[in-house]
Amino acid sequence: MLSINKTYILDENNNPIAVQIPIKDYKAIEEVLENYGLSKLIDEVHNDETLSFKEAKRYYDTLNNEMES
């Protein structure tokens, strides 16, 4: 499990209103979330149609041409 060092920010009534974490911990959380999102996307497209190399290159080239226009 990911260990997160946190500091709570309190308002004038000692109610917690925010959390402060070190950049190192933030980057670790961000990586976990990105990996999770990527795995969900892979699961969603797992059964989608695949392209041959030639088809993929042709499709990629059309994308490049659209971006250059």
Higher pLDDT, 46 or 24: 24
Q: Select, from the ranges 15-19, 45-49, 56-60, the one with the highest average predicted confidence (pLDDT).
A: 15-19
pLDDT at 69: 65
User: Residue holding tokens 């980057």?
Assistant: 27
Higher pLDDT, 60 or 10: 10
Question: In this structure, which amino acid lies at residue 22?
Answer: P
pLDDT in tens, 16-45: 999 999 999 999 999 999 999 999 988 888
Farthest CA pair distance, the chain: 65
Three-state DSSP class for residue 17: strand
Q: In this structure, what token pair is assigned to residue 17?
A: 């209103």
Instruction: Please give the mean pLDDT across all residues of the chain.
Output: 90
- Are 7 and 19 in contact by the 8 Å Cβ rule? The answer is yes
CA–CA gap between residue 7 and residue 17 (Å, rounded): 11
